[in-house]
Amino acid sequence: MHHALPKRIAAALVLAGMFALTPPAQSQIDNESDITLGGLLAPKGADKTAPGEYKKAGPYKIAFALPGVGNSWIVQTIEEGKIEAARHKEISFIQTDAEWQPAKQVSDLEDLLTKNVDALIIGTVTPSNVNAELDKFADRHIPVVVSGSGTTGKFAVEVRGGGEYFGRVGGQYLVQQLHGKGTVWAFRGVAGIQEEVDRYNGFAEALKGTDVKIGAEVYGDWGYAKAKQECTDLVLSGKPVDGIWSSGAEMTRACIDVFQQYHKPLVPMTGEANNGWLRVWKTSGVSSVAPVFPPGLSTAAVRATLALLEGKSVYRHYWSEPAPITTASLDKFYKPDLNDNFWVPSSMPDAKIKELYANK
């Protein structure tokens, strides 16, 4: 998402996946599997939109309000959404970038309201920063589809993943690896960002009822440089550590480098399933796990939006919590012929993946 983030944030939010996805061949969205990406997402609850609730004649002008740009996951999810939209001749796409600033996202939405858009896809900066603006979209009967991050405001459909699931996967993994007892260090992301809070909450919840304790907690800002300094300080302090939970794999990579620099045996460390992390995981031999946060959520959001405009009844809540990548499945998902910026699962055609991510 452009106006690149400060360097301390630019490596943020790295997440992963499991399998390539094939777009539906038809122009219209005809079945539920199109929105669920063939099972990567699942409906949550039974609530559905009413048939014809948002139906209108095309062509359609769809806005994509991004929370910010500046890391490889978001760059890929934007590309995947654009590729899906381009498959449908009746769609034109408008994109805004809030630069991770709640006030700017409010301004972006106010501007979009003047452009007579037919639908809005949004990833929020914080859950409540745009509630008043979403009310205005609802008053105009413009469907809102929430993608990636959540909201407490009005929406027609949400397509979600990550967050607490991400943190819970890592916490449960460490509890298992440490047989329910030990001391872990927690490397958090950027303070105040909802995704960071959600990940940490999922991690902390996974430790409840066990004898795994948090011996140190630092904010590495999802970046390599700050996390390396924080990890160096912790290693030199002599504090005990049996495992490391990380809110982002750039911070995990920094810790691996610090441990190796000081000839400290690697402990289990959680990561993410982007190709760069999978490469480090494989070459270092660290014990790890990678939760899956698919960039194809944007593809699902575009498909859900088109379904609404076509008058179809769709579920209001879709959630993605696929099984994580483990040491046993690492070789299945690591792509040595692709570069470190690639995330899986991808909804892009294989030819496009190779065009964008093949090693040069």
Say if residue 129 is exposed, middle or buried (CB neighbours under 10 Å; 0-12, 13-18, 19+): buried
> Residue 96 is encoded by which pair of tokens?
């805004």
For domain 164-290, the question of CATH label 1.10.760.10 is answered with no
CATH number of 32-162+294-327+340-357: 3.40.50.2300
Greater pLDDT, 34 or 282: 282
> What integer is the mean pLDDT of 40-63?
95
pLDDT at residue 192 in the model: 80
> What integer is the mean pLDDT of 282-302?
95
> What integer is the mean pLDDT of 162-168?
92
Statement: residue 19 has pLDDT above 70: no
Domain boundary assignment for the chain = 32-162+294-327+340-357, 164-290
> What integer is the mean pLDDT of 57-62?
96
Closest residue by Cα to residue 219 from 243, 185, 194: 185
> What integer is the mean pLDDT of 126-130?
89
Q: Do domains 32-162+294-327+340-357 and 164-290 have the same CATH topology?
A: yes
pLDDT digits (tens, 9 = 90+) for 196-216: 999 999 999 999 999 999 999
Q: Which of 4-8, 35-39, 239-243, 271-275 has the lowest mean pLDDT?
A: 4-8
Statement: residue 10 has pLDDT above 60: no
C-alpha distance from residue 108 to each of 3, 68, 111 (Å): 14, 12, 5
Q: Report the percent of the chain where pLDDT is more than 70.
A: 91
pTM of the model: 0.83
Q: Computed from CA positions of residues 331, 14, 161, 304, in that sequence, does the dihedral angle turn out positive or negative?
A: negative
What is the rounded CA–CA span in Å between residue 348 and residue 356? 10
Statement: residue 231 has pLDDT above 50: yes
Greater pLDDT, 162 or 58: 58
Q: Kind of pairing, strands 211-219 and 157-161?
A: unpaired
What is the rounded CA–CA span in Å between residue 214 and residue 134? 39
- How many CA within 13 A on the CB side of residue 346? 27
Say if residue 67 is preceded by a cis peptide, omega within 30 of 0.
Answer: no
Closest residue by Cα to residue 196 from 186, 188, 204, 207: 188
Q: Going by C-beta distance under 8 Å and a sequence separation of 6 or more, which residues neighbour residue 260?
A: 266, 284
Query: If residue 122 lies in a helix (H) or strand (E), which one and from where to where?
Result: strand 119-122
Q: Which amino acid is at 70?
A: G
Q: How confident is the model at residue 31 (pLDDT cuts 50, 70, 90)?
A: low
